Amino acid sequence: MCRFIESIKLAESRFYRLELHQARVDKVFADFYPAVKPINLAELLMKSDFPETGIHKCRIVFDSEVQFLEYIPYVRREIKSLKLVETDMETLPYKIEDRTKLNIAFAKREACDDVLMVRNNLITDTSYSNIALFDGENWITPKNPLLFGVNRAQLVAENKLIQKDIKVSELFNFQLIRLFNAMIEFGELEIAIGSIEH
């Protein structure tokens, strides 16, 4: 059985998107441990010795119970270029600890900073973030990303993103691409479409 992971943003004593992280944990328990009461993230985190200042990644590794919890000072990676890479990874509703397939894809980035993964001719995610593309009017996010991230879920619920399939051939109809995840807010990391290499 694989282990699961939640990466939660902690900034100046505030945990971000906790309800959405909890919903994802609840789904793991419903699908894999239906007889076990799900981990209560709010309770767990409030009891932990969390840093009160700065930005940290709270990393929780768990199966039917918490295996470990750590707080890591967060420094955002600079991403200025992406390499299109084919993948056969399946879409998942939760994060698994094993990143072997993601690491294999990331190793194909060549001189670029990260990869933009393509499955069945459709754009999905980078190796560590969801994406959205700007067409001059709206921000479009792939309908079936590799991971249904919590930040993505919030942005979709707030009608800030439109979900649709994006073919590789349509990529250059867009102007900008934004990368975002639990730690990176929407708009913090944006690059030109021209910085994507085939």
Residue 191 contacts residue 78 (beta carbons within 8 Å): no
pLDDT tens-digit map of 114-161? 999 999 999 999 999 999 999 999 999 999 999 999 999 999 999 999
CA–CA dist 195, 81 (Å, integer): 5
Q: Provide the residue type at 91 as one letter.
A: T
| Cα–Cα distances in angstroms (integers) from residue 30 to residues 25, 134, 151, 182, in the given order | 9, 36, 22, 22
pLDDT tens-digit map of 29-88? 999 999 999 999 999 999 999 999 999 999 999 999 999 999 999 999 999 999 999 999
Residues 6+ apart with CB under 8 A from 83: 108, 109, 110, 112, 114, 115, 116, 196, 197
pTM of full prediction above 0.75? yes
CA–CA dist 191, 77 (Å, integer): 13
Backbone angles phi, psi at 89, to 5 degrees: -65, 145
Find the length of the chain. 198
pLDDT at 1 over 80: no
pLDDT tens-digit map of 80-117? 999 999 999 999 899 999 999 999 999 999 999 999 99
DSSP conformation class of 121? T
